[in-house]
Amino acid sequence: MIGGSAAGLVVLLVVLLLTLTTCGGGGGSGARAKGKDGEQAAKGPSRAVVTISPKDGADGVRTSGALKVAAAEGKLTEVTVKDSKDNEVAGRLTDGGRAWKPATHLAAGTRYTVDAVAKDAEGRASAKHASFTTFVPRNTFVGYFTPENGDKVGAGMPVSVTFNRPVADRDAVERAISVTADPKVRVEGHWFGSQRLDFRPREYWKAGTKVTLDLNLSGVEGADGVYGTQRKTVRFTVGRQQVSVVDARKKTMTVMRDGKKIKTIPITSGSPANPTYNGRMVISEKHEVTRMNGQTVGFGGEYDIKDVPHAMRLSTSGTFIHGNYWTPKFQFGKVNASHGCVGLHDLRGGGANGSPGAWFFQNSMIGDVVEVRNSQDETIRPDNGLNGWNMSWEKWTAPQ
């Protein structure tokens, strides 16, 4: 027989033994503990090893090809690269998650931080942090662009970037420039020589389109030892579609806006000795009054008019559509007598004087199109002004 006190002691011992057995008292180095999802997670240090190149604290780092993140004995699960302004560098995992590479070049003269995490086969994480600074180039180039940020332009306006130094690696530079539109439309670039890159869609922009030019040139090696320095975003809006068709044979200009005819104006164009270019030309400058000197465009001393009213440039070589006060009014619509420009009757001094020249100036914007037909001259070259519309889409997009 066991007394009451002894029996209670036995019961207490049994309960303690059961409790210890159930809780699983000790464990060796291979023991596991349940995670939040009920699965077993390994204990101990991760076998994964993260490596970052360049090394922490490095200076004068190249902007292309130097940044590399990799994992041994595991796979990368997280890589974050940021510059000193907290802008993140896009990139992607490669080699089945064992490596990461940036999607683009880095900017010059910029400090970057890298934070990477990798996990081994047991799910154990390993992390690494590093920072470095890219080099400051001694020889640089920039791109001068049109239109400007915030501009409202006509539907024929291309995006044109002119570089101050010749570009040898045109592919690298073009990859660093993007032009996008809302509503979305395909936009392609075309090089005119080694210092000019223009972008346009297949047809004129739709009215109201919002266009964004992103220049990510800082750190791009455009030529041997010559690097870009720009990081800039430019946004502009397309106003309306205005195309004015000049018929050199009929000596008239029909102004079409958003597909509707709004006015027909008598004009004078280039004389038989100096005919006007045919083709689609984009207005690139507007001047209330300007001087036109024949010596600047190869006509010697044939003319020098110091106060040409309502002048709008159509070509780099000197073609304008402008007001004309020196030709008798009755000759407009009857005689082609200019040195290659398109003239409209006007009054001296410019201003809102009620003349056809003044009306057209007031109703035109940079980026509008003037198309000349039935002239005795050749079609204007696509690079003579902002006139890439005179090149077929097939030639525009062909490999260069």
> HEC profile for 108-134?
CCCEEEEEEEEECCCCCEEEEEEEEEE
Give CA–CA dist 91/384, Å, rounded. Answer: 40
Dist. CA 57–CA 230, nearest whole Å = 25
The pLDDT value given to residue 304: 83
Ordered by where they begin, the domains of the chain are 49-134 (2.60.40.3780), 139-239 (2.60.40.3710), 242-386 (2.40.440.10)
pLDDT at 298: 72
Grouping H, G, I as helix, E, B as strand and the rest as coil, residue 331 is helix
Structure-token pair, residue 131: 């920072």
Give me the pLDDT at residue 303, please.
67
Find out whether 208 and 234 touch, Cβ atoms under 8 Å: no
Question: Which SS3 state, helix, strand or coil, does residue 147 take?
Answer: coil
The answer to whether the CB of 245 falls within 8 A of the CB of 267 is no
State which H helix or E strand residue 316 sits in: none
- Residues in contact with 320: Cβ distance below 8 Å, sequence separation at least 6, in sequence order: 292, 308, 311, 312, 313, 314, 341, 342
pLDDT of amino acid 20: 36
pLDDT of amino acid 91: 97
Burial 112-139 (b: 16+ CB within 10 A, else e): bebbbbbbbeeebebebebbbbbbebee
Is it true that the peptide bond before 183 is cis, omega within 30 degrees of 0? yes
Report the helix count and the strand count for the chain, using DSSP H and E. 4, 30
Amino acid occupying residue 368 = D
pLDDT value for 35: 42
**107 and 85 Cβ atoms separated by less than 8 Å:** no
Instruction: Report the sign of the C-alpha dihedral through residues 20, 23, 29, 31, in that order.
Output: positive
Q: Evaluate whether 89 touches 102 at the Cβ level (below 8 Å).
A: yes
Regions of the chain where pLDDT drops below 70: 1-41, 294, 301-303
User: Which letter does DSSP use for residue 388 in this model?
Assistant: G
Q: What angle do CA 347, 281, 383 make, to 5 degrees?
A: 130
Contacts of 372 (CB under 8 A, 6+ apart): 246, 248, 269, 276, 277, 278, 279, 281, 342
